[in-house]
Chains A and B, each alone.
Chain A
Amino acid sequence: MGKRVVVTGMGIVSPNGIGIPAFLHAIQNGISGIKFMPRYQELNFSCQLAGMPAFDWESLKNYISEVTFHGLKGTNIGYGVVAALDAWADSGADYDTDAPRWETGCVFGNSIADTEAMKNVIAKVDNKEAKKLGSRVVEQAMNSGVTSYISGRLGLGNKIVTNSSACATGTQAILMGYEYIKDGYAKRMVVGSSEHVDTYVYGAFDSMRVLSRKFNDRPERASRPMSLTAGGFVPGSGAAALILEDLDFALARGARIYAEVLGGSSNSGGQRQGGTMTAANSVGVIRCIDEALTNSGITPQQIDLISGHLTATNADRQEIQNWSQALNKSGNDFPLTNSLKSMIGHCLSAAGSIETVASILQIVHGFVHPNINLEDPNPEVTNLIGLDRLPVKMIKKEVNIVAKANFGFGDVNSCLILSKYN
């Protein structure tokens, strides 16, 4: 029997709210964080919208030393540091420590270093001025940049891991942190993920023709998961972090407990049986959900809410069918389901952690957030599940168990089961 693992702190940098109170208000009221980006129009992108947090870069000075701040250019690092340090403070712990905190580690994910910041590096090297790059480039270019800044600020001394599994990164980070604590390797883990979709990454997605193109004049209505007019996703940026603790460790220090992580699963469809680099093998997805339930010791009947991946592409229908098959539930028997992406777009690596924070807030405050923009539900979806399973207005109700899943390029899947702490 492994250790029980609870969530004791949360921090968030979301396109529709920075900090837990602002984010909670936004998701309860269906507030969109999607904005028109004039720069993307100049660049001739087909989609000219993004979920970009209203992040005050100078605010980082409240989190890290002036010396560390000077020379910090990586936007993804800035987002991750704020989310992680807010989560840490939220858990009631102090930032400063003289000795390393040997009992505490970190699993924090991201996809790519800030390419816009790296452009300056490339220009200097090409201009034969490599000597002028200075000491701060490598630490921000390396994939482990985000975890290094977080663990350094907090003096974390246990396992420090940077994970990356495309859109499944965030849920996978939380699952890995959960596993380290459950198996007794750490007492506390800072987990989460961050993403900054810079113009270069954005352009590459735009070229794949997977982004929403027809709503550039109506930004807040552009992210439309499960609707007939869903024509692709809207890229989002941000970060979220959670503090996971061994239940006994949390109780001993009198920590406030938000929720419990019951378990989860992470796998791959192997890019077989219809799975490819960009499409999920449904067999893998169903297996991932089934294993998450088994590992958590729950039945499908206990699931109050599905926080879907549901990006607003033509994969939405298949995802609903996979959930339906995995849970052996359909029609009005299907759990309530929502997609936060309707409000903030798809935050790629950060999606899983941001959506997990939203899931926990729904457990703590007893509500199901709306699916905004679901004015014209896709009949292929509502043929599988009842229309009222997809709330378009906030529902106030007790939420005991949430299944949160994300699926990513490379045919990777992650599913978490979150519960009210009893």
Chain B
Amino acid sequence: MTRQEILDELKKVIAPYTTNKEMLAGIDDHTDLIKDLKINSANLVDVIIDAEAKYDIEIDYDSADKMVNVGTCIDVISEKLNQKV
């Protein structure tokens, strides 16, 4: 999967957790999940669980801690996808 493909899918994963749909449409690597998308910090756990299901990967606690903005989310997902093959 390319970074763009992961980004497109990630938007769907994040969608239920943000009311800021306009910003979601235009997210890039620098978009912060909490500060920009106003995702409740408790809900970050749900984003990670949903991402695991979506990409059929496992995201360990240390990797999950890195997922603070869209860019680092794609980094982690991409790394886990590569480990699969």
List residues of chain A with CB under 8 Å of any chain B CB.
65-67, 70-71, 131-132, 134-136
21 A-B pairs with CB atoms under 8 Å apart are A65-B19, A66-B16, A66-B19, A67-B16, A67-B17, A67-B18, A67-B19, A67-B43, A70-B16, A70-B17, A71-B16, A71-B46, A131-B49, A132-B49, A132-B52, A134-B46, A134-B49, A135-B43, A135-B45, A135-B46, A136-B46
* Docked pose: A65 CA to B43 CA in angstroms: 14
Q: Which residues on A sit within 8 Å (CB–CB) of B17?
A: 67, 70
Q: Which residues of B contact A (CB under 8 A)?
A: 16-19, 40, 42-43, 45-46, 49, 52
- Among B18, B19, B40, B45, point to the contact of A134 (Cβ < 8 A): B45
Contacts A70-B16, A131-B49 aside, 17 further interface pairs with beta carbons under 8 A come to A65-B19, A66-B16, A66-B19, A67-B16, A67-B17, A67-B18, A67-B19, A67-B40, A67-B43, A70-B17, A71-B16, A132-B49, A132-B52, A135-B43, A135-B45, A135-B46, A136-B46
Report yes or no: A135 in contact with B42, Cβ–Cβ below 8 A.
yes
Q: Secondary structure at chain A's binding surface: helix, strand, loop or mixed?
A: loop
- The count of A-to-B residue pairs whose CB atoms sit within 8 angstroms is 24
How far, in angstroms, from A71 to B45 measured CA to CA in the complex? 13
Q: Which residues of A contact B40 (CB under 8 A)?
A: 67
Q: Shortest Cβ distance from B38 into chain A, in angstroms?
A: 9
How distant is the Cα of A295 from the Cα of B46 in the complex, in angstroms? Answer: 51
CA distance A83 to B47 in the complex (A): 31
A70 cross-chain contacts in B, Cβ below 8 A: 16-17
Smallest CB separation, A378 vs chain B (Å): 54
CB neighbours (8 Å) of B49 from chain A are 131-132, 134
Q: Which residues of B contact A136 (CB under 8 A)?
A: 46
Closest partner residue, chain B, to A132 (CB atom): B49
Residues of B within 8 A of A71 (CB): 16, 46
A148 to chain B, nearest CB (A): 13
- Cα-based distance from A136 to B52 in the complex (angstroms): 17
Q: Hey, which chain A residues are within 8 Å of B19, CB to CB?
A: 65-67
Residues of A within 8 A of B42 (CB): 135
The distance from the CB of B63 to the nearest CB of chain A, in whole angstroms, is 13
Query: Closest 6 CB pairs between A and B?
Result: A70-B16, A135-B42, A134-B46, A135-B45, A134-B49, A135-B46
